[in-house]
Chain A
Amino acid sequence: MIDRRLIYNFDWGMFIAALLLALIGVSTIYSATRPVFDAEQQSFYIRQLYWIGLSVIFFLAVISVDYRQIVRYSFLIYGAGIILLILVIFIGRKGMGAQRWIPLGFLSFQPSEFFKLFFILAMSRYLAAMGENLDLGMLKISKIAAVFFVVPAILIATQPDLGTALILLFIFISMLFIAGIRRRLLVIAVIIGIISLPFVGNVFWGGLKGYQKNRIVAFMDPKVDPQGVGYHIKQSKVTIGSGGFTGKGYMKGTQGPLRFLPEKHTDFIFAIFAEEWGFVGSLILFLFYLFIILRGFDTAKKARDLEGAYLAAGITFMFTFYFIINAGMTMGMTPVVGAPLPLMSYGGTALLSNFLSLALIENVRMRRLPNPFN
């Protein structure tokens, strides 16, 4: 199964970049959660280290199986994912106003976190089967949406998990774009999208939960609700901005440990990093992410088959969206939707999901060329 060709083609660059980001994440979590009152630090960073170890093992496991084998079972996996999402409704554990987790004894498991991957796998298989350079019209798109997108999107949105639902939509659209949307449709879609935003927004608005509305209002005007989300955005901008050019120095940030910035080690981890490492550090961090993303697109381009190309592109898009939404959110450019920063935010499920995703890209890249030894 694993032959020397695979090892030869292993993309060390992406793997190391991902691992480094995860470790930078741990060190930032360590700094963000360092105690100011209690003698002992909460063990977030240790748990995150365990998860990194586990993620690397899973990474190696995933690259050892040919992605085509995985894609072959993608519909089955997708189906299982849908069942898990339904299961969440009945046995899910509630937390922070949402019902997203399935308890598994010592840990809980968030199906929606992995479902995006299952979705990409199924879409890849389906689109690949349709052939190359498609001319997707409205009818075809509606059909694909009905088959793959509508059900999970509704299930996830009702958990409610606005962030994941939104990401799913982005992945769906971007994969269709890669597959080939009729140009006219693309142009019309963009125009209609821009024009109808306020009208559609109204309908969309009515269906939102109170806190979701708050988040969007706060995004529009952070002063509206200074103690709520507006406070998050303001403090996040303060945290990042106060880092200045070179930052306050590692373990010298004040906004997180003194609790001015909530969710400092999860969704707002970038702000903490930017406070301590400044513009220079943040720029380097951005380059790491950019490297992984461009490598992902490169893999999609060089994939040996359409399934590999869709898979690599879809995952890269997902990774990109997460990064942009998170970074944009912490800098006050996009609404606060509760999206973690890939690889760095505290949280085992997300981290494992990130590594599994990158493992699939790695998988595609490793198997992209004919065997040079044959």
Chain B
Amino acid sequence: MERRILASSYLVLLVFALLVLKLFNLQIIRGEEYKKVSDNNRLKIVRRPAPRGIIYDRNGMAFVSDMPFFDASAVKKGLPEDWNTLFSLSSLLNISTETLKAILNKPPVNNSDEIKLKENLSFDEVATLEARKMEFPGLQVDVRTGRKYLYGALAGHVLGYLNRLTPGQLKNDDFSDVPQEAFVGQYGAEKFYDDLLRGVAGGEIIEVDAMGREIRVVSFEPSIKGKDIRLTIDMMTQLEAERSLAGKTGAVVAVDPQTGEILALASSPSFDPNLFSGGISHDEWSSLADNPDKPLLNRAIQSRYPPASTFKVITAIAALEQGIITEDTTFDCRGSLKIGGRDVGCWQKKGHGRIGLHRALAESCDVYFYEIGKRININTLADYAQRFGLGRTSGIDINGEITGMVPTSEWKERVKHEKWYMGETVSASIGQGYMTATPLQMAMLTAAVVNGGRLIKPSILMRDEGGPSLNEESVRVRAETLDIIMSGMRGAVQERSGTGWSANSKLTSIGGKTGTAQVVGKDSFSKGYNKKFKDHAWFISFAPVNNAEIAVAVFVENGGFGGVAAAPIAKNVIEAYMKSKTENEKLRLEKLKEMTEKSMPEIVNEASGTESSEPGSGD
């Protein structure tokens, strides 16, 4: 018996040795590996996006502020799975049990166990959730810094909006430092200057229990706030531009012709970027994206229209430079001109009579420019148009700009496989036909005319804030030529017979050029019956005439006559800028507050506005 007990003892020793070997394997050989697993168990790494930089206008008035947004999320394995919990949770979050079930059944993103239940909680929801948190282990309320656009839709197309990283951005190295759930700029200045505004994300290592509940912060790395930036936009001018466009479809671009700084850039209808700040819902997104009025389209840079009579500025410059006409050349306008066996009319049916360049510009005589069109080569005309920036992007620091179109004979042969007809040159001379331009291009063209022939790359960020360096090219046009043009434009506004008379201001001297782009020919029958067939209204302008501080291009889709629909808007915008420059800050603030309260809802909500269709001084 003793032998068998002894054998048992040895057997036990052997088993102990095996246990110790296993222990050695677990703790010594694989110890570090298991240590990592245990740390992964309990440590949750949370990236905290930095507060974004504030965006100011050129005078230091803030467009945006950062504010906290609250999201509810849950660690699924922490939530009890019974129906009662689901029901009370759904009533707590104000979402249906079906929706909640669907959310909970979705696999969590990014390998984390966390599931976002609801974004952008109301204050009441946050309070209730926090109070009843212990009933739902695994439920948590996350705070994130989000964007508040202080004046709603004001400058929406310039400021842009934030949204979650797109799948493409998730793969892009430029965003590797951005926490995956973070909001980044997806549009406008928020997008273009995202790397400035974004800052450096911080992080926390948080100890959690098996249910995912947070125990304590183990380590913390503060985030670095993004850089504040100052835009070139003048808030008062921007506000006036949007207010004048309210209810209309169109765009306004105001620029400092000396520097290329964009003073206002409006596109109507617009949208409220705040919609995106809390994470935009699918329905909200659809109502924006599928809206036939296309509020997300930045018409200032993304829409191209025939420039119509505003293009006469270029035609005149080309003709003067080419020696086709001089300042004193006159033609006889009898209300129409026979070209290639067809009568083409002047907008003034009774005719302008014998007319020189100054009056032809001021009164927008079509026949005068038809005569030039007969004498000029389309490619020469195109060359001047291109010198002034048409047919190519301006390089503005907003994404998505389009080029517009400057036709040449070579282009027509290449694309349409047809030769160019002289009649088409005549049409192009008054900015019709294939010719298209964006409102921004027209503003920059105007600036180049009035600043001595410098085509400047426009910018929305002040240069001293890291904006683009002053980038300009010469249009290679004699100063005298530009003076003659400016004189004609001055006449258009300041002379009684001028088509831009409605832009005449007591506050400052304004020069300009109207344009009315035909939509369906001069068929007066269809006009007035259907808004769709109304002409597009253009107006390009500058002020003061002797030393321009501002150049403005206005475009109103189906607005009717440029002199009626567009010119008064330009006048308002110019006057707003002149006042803004002279008013002190206190006044500016008071006025802005008042104006915002009064007019902003209209800008956002109203789709149809009042439009005058009565023909006044048109062109």
Real complex partners, A and B?
A: yes
Q: Spell out A's residues near B (CB within 8 Å).
A: 36-37, 132-133, 174, 177-180, 235, 237-245, 254-255, 257-260, 274-275, 278-279, 282-283, 286, 290, 293-294, 297, 300-301, 306, 309, 313, 317, 320, 324, 327-328, 331, 333
Q: B residues 19-64 with Cβ under 8 Å of A?
A: 19-20, 22-24, 26-28, 30-35, 37-39, 41-42
Instruction: Assess the A237–B34 pair: CB atoms within 8 A.
Output: yes
Shortest Cβ gap from B95 to chain A (Å): 27
User: What 1/0 flags go to B201-221 for Cβ under 8 Å of A?
Assistant: 000000111110101000000
Known contacts A258-B208, A286-B20, A317-B8; 17 further A-B pairs (Cβ under 8 A): A235-B41, A238-B37, A238-B38, A240-B34, A241-B31, A241-B34, A241-B38, A242-B34, A244-B31, A245-B27, A260-B38, A274-B27, A294-B12, A301-B2, A324-B19, A328-B22, A331-B23
Is the pair B41, A238 in contact by a Cβ cutoff of 8 Å? yes
CB-based contact B5/A255 at 8 Å: no
| A283-B20, A328-B19 as given contacts; A240 in contact with B26, CB under 8 Å | yes
| Chain B neighbourhood of A244, CB < 8 A | 27-28, 31-32, 35
A254, B207: Cβ atoms closer than 8 Å: yes
Interchain Cβ contacts under 8 Å between A and B, 26 examples: A37-B215, A133-B1, A180-B4, A240-B26, A241-B27, A241-B30, A242-B38, A243-B27, A245-B28, A245-B31, A255-B41, A255-B42, A258-B41, A258-B207, A258-B208, A259-B210, A259-B211, A260-B210, A286-B20, A294-B12, A297-B12, A313-B5, A320-B12, A324-B15, A331-B22, A331-B26
In the bound assembly, the distance between CA atoms of A92 and B184 in angstroms comes to 63
Of chain A, the residue at the smallest CB distance from B7 is A177
User: 9 tightest CB-CB pairs across the interface, nearest first?
Assistant: A241-B34, A242-B38, A259-B210, A244-B31, A258-B209, A241-B26, A279-B27, A242-B34, A242-B35
Most A CB within 10 A of own CB, among B6, B23, B39, B207? B23
Smallest Cβ distance from A292 to chain B, in angstroms? 11
B9 close to A (CB within 8 Å)? yes
How far, in angstroms, from A237 to B33 measured CA to CA in the complex?
11
Specify which chain A residues have a CB less than 8 angstroms from the CB of B6 in the assembled complex.
297, 301
CB distance from A240 to the nearest CB of B (A): 5
Q: Indicate if the CB atoms of A301 and B33 lie closer than 8 Å.
A: no
Residues of A within 8 A of B9 (CB): 294, 297
Quick check: A243 and B31 within 8 Å, CB to CB? yes
Closest residue of B by beta carbon distance from A328: B19
Bound-state CA distance A278–B34 (Å) is 12
Report the interface size class on chain B: 35 or more
Question: Do most interface residues of chain A lie in helix, strand or loop, or is the interface mixed?
Answer: helix
Contact of A258 among B5, B26, B215 (CB under 8 A): B215
User: Taking the nearest CB of chain A, how far is it from the CB of B7, in angstroms?
Assistant: 9
The residue that B26 contacts in the complex, of A237, A257, A294, with Cβ under 8 A, is A237
B285 interface residue (CB < 8 Å to A): no
B421 contacts the other chain (CB 8 A): no
**A259 contacts B22, C-beta separation under 8 Å:** no
- By beta carbon, the residue of chain B nearest A280 is B27
Number of A-B contacts (CB under 8 A): 128
- Set of chain A residues within 8 Å of B28, measured between Cβ atoms: 244-245, 279
In-complex Cβ contact of A297 among B8, B24, B34 (8 A): B8
Kindly identify which residue among A37, A132, A174, A327 contacts B8, using a CB–CB cutoff of 8 Å.
Answer: A174
Nearest A residue to B213, CB-CB? A37
- Tell me, yes or no, whether B175 is within 8 Å of chain A by CB: no
**Shortest CB distance A333–B (Å):** 6
CA distance A309 to B3 in the complex (A): 13
The answer to whether A313 touches B8 (Cβ under 8 A) is yes
A331: B residues at CB distance < 8 A: 19, 22-23, 26
Contact yes or no, A177 B27, CB < 8 A:
no
Q: Which residues of A contact B27 (CB under 8 A)?
A: 240-241, 243-245, 274, 278-279, 282
Does B16 belong to the interface (CB within 8 Å)? yes
Q: For A37, list chain B residues within 8 Å (CB).
A: 209, 213, 215
Q: SS class of chain B's interface: helix, strand, loop or mixed?
A: helix
Determine the distance from Cα of A332 to Cα of B4 in the docked complex, in whole angstroms.
Answer: 29
**Cβ contacts under 8 Å, B215 to chain A:** 36-37, 258
The answer to whether residues A178 and B42 also contact, given A243-B31, A245-B31 and a CB cut-off of 8 A, is no
Residues of A within 8 A of B1 (CB): 132-133, 178-180, 306, 309
- Which residues of B have CB within 8 Å of A294? 9, 12
CA distance A236 to B18 in the complex (A): 18
When the two chains form their complex, are residues B23 and A279 in contact, meaning their CB atoms are under 8 A apart?
yes
Give the chain B neighbours of A278 by CB distance below 8 A: 27
Choose among B18, B38, B39 the residue that contacts A239 (Cβ–Cβ < 8 A). B38
Contact indicator per residue, chain B 111-148, by CB within 8 Å of chain A (1) or not (0): 00000000000000000000000000000000000000
Closest to A278 in B: B27
Complex Cα spacing A355 to B9, Å: 21
Which residues of B168-215 are within 8 A (CB) of A? 207-211, 213, 215
Q: Using CB atoms, name the residue of chain A closest to B2.
A: A301
**A260-B42, A301-B2, A313-B5 known; A242 vs B209 contact (CB < 8 Å):** no
Minimum distance in angstroms from A340 CB to a CB of chain B: 17
Cβ contacts under 8 Å, B37 to chain A: 238, 241-242
- Give the distance in Å from the alpha carbon of A185 to the alpha carbon of B28 in the complex: 41
Tell whether, in the assembled complex, residue A283 and residue B23 are in contact, meaning their CB atoms are under 8 Å apart: yes
Known A297-B9, A301-B5: A333·B35 in contact at CB below 8 Å: no
Q: Enumerate chain A residues within 8 angstroms of B210, measured Cβ to Cβ.
A: 258-260
CB neighbours (8 Å) of A179 from chain B are 1
CA distance A324 to B20 in the complex (A): 11
Residue pair B24, A178 in contact (C-beta under 8 Å): no
Q: Smallest CB–CB gap between A184 and chain B, Å?
A: 16
- By a CB distance below 8 angstroms, the chain B residues around A238 are 34, 37-38, 41
What CA separation (Å) do A260 and B37 show in the bound complex?
A: 11
By a CB distance below 8 angstroms, the chain B residues around A36 are 209, 215
What residues of chain B lie closer than 8 Å to A283, measured between beta carbons?
A: 20, 23
Q: Which residues of B contact A255 (CB under 8 A)?
A: 38, 41-42
B26 lies within 8 A of A327 (CB):
no
Structural contact, A240 and B8, CB atoms closer than 8 A: no
Contact A240 B2 (CB under 8 A): no
- Give the residues in chain A near B13, CB-CB below 8 Å: 290
Q: Which of B6, B27, B31, B213 is most buried by chain A, counting CB atoms within 10 A of its CB?
A: B27
Cα separation A245 to B27 with both chains bound (whole Å):
6
B24 with A279: CB separation less than 8 A: yes
Closest chain A CB from B207 CB (angstroms): 7
Chain B residue contacts of A257, Cβ below 8 A: 209
In the complex, what distance in Å separates the CA atom of A255 from the CA atom of B35? Answer: 11
Q: Hey, which chain A residues are within 8 Å of B42, CB to CB?
A: 254-255, 258, 260
Which residue in chain B gives the minimum CB-CB distance to A133?
Answer: B1
Whole-angstrom distance between the alpha carbons of A320 and B19 in the complex? 13
B261 to chain A, nearest CB (A): 57
In the bound assembly, the distance between CA atoms of A175 and B392 in angstroms comes to 98
Bound CA span A243–B29, Å? 12
CB distance from A63 to the nearest CB of B (A): 22
Residues from chain B with a CB closer than 8 A to the CB of A180 are 1, 4
List of A residues within 8 angstroms of B31 by Cβ: 241-245, 279
Which residues from B are CB-within-8-Å of A260? 38, 41-42, 209-210
User: Looking across the interface, which residue of chain A has its beta carbon closest to that of B43?
Assistant: A254
A132 and chain B: residue at smallest CB distance: B1
B168 to chain A, nearest CB (A): 34
Residues of B within 8 Å of A243, CB to CB, are 27, 31
- Closest residue of A by beta carbon distance from B216: A36
With the chains together, A309 CA to B22 CA distance in Å? 32
Are A241 and B12 neighbours in the complex by a CB distance under 8 Å? no
CB-CB < 8 A to A274: which residues of B?
23, 27
Residue pair B16, A290 in contact (C-beta under 8 Å) = yes
A238 to B37 alpha-carbon distance, docked (Å) = 7
Residues of chain B within 8 A of A258, CB atoms compared: 41-42, 207-210, 215
Bound-complex Cα distance A254 to B44 (A): 14
A174 cross-chain contacts in B, Cβ below 8 A = 8
Taking the closest CB of chain B, its distance from the CB of A171, in whole angstroms, is 12
Q: Within 8 Å CB of A324, what residues of B?
A: 15, 19
Q: Which residue of A lies closest to B77 (CB)?
A: A227
Docked Cα-Cα span, A254 to B34, in Å, equals: 13
